Amino acid sequence: MRENDMLEKEEIFSKVLRAGRRTYFFDVRATKADDYYITITESKKFTEEDGSFHFKKHKIYLYKEDFTAFAEILGDMTSYVLNHKGEEVISERHQKDFKKEYPAENTAETELPAISSFTDIDFDDI
């Protein structure tokens, strides 16, 4: 196993945020010089048609020299969203009681059209 892989496994402090199909992992880790940095990992579950599933992960490495600017920008961005859109969740799929409703099928389109008149044919005439 590579030394870098060993460092990835050593977590000093961790928190988890579960958010629907996504899970966010916040981990404090140590560098080779025993300084600390943070990793933020987004793990998203995807289900296949056959019922099997897999996870896609995206990771951000955040070092101490960037903490202040990162926290400031994150605060600015979250404040902007909340000030402009409020805290209400607009996206239907993120509402806890969301149930997808399908429009009622138009039965007039699926029924055969009514026949107003027809010609009675006797097979003996053919």
pTM to 2 decimals?
Answer: 0.60
Residue the block writes with tokens 């101490």: 64
pLDDT at position 79 = 97
67-108 tens-digit pLDDT: 999 999 999 999 999 999 888 887 765 555 655 555 555 544
| Distance from C-alpha of 33 to C-alpha of 37, rounded to nearest angstrom | 11
CATH code of domain 3-85: 3.10.450.700
Please give the torsion angle defined by the CA atoms of residues 31, 34, 36 and 42, in that order, rounded to the nearest 10 degrees: 40
pLDDT at position 118 = 52
Q: Are 25 and 11 in contact (CB under 8 A)?
A: no
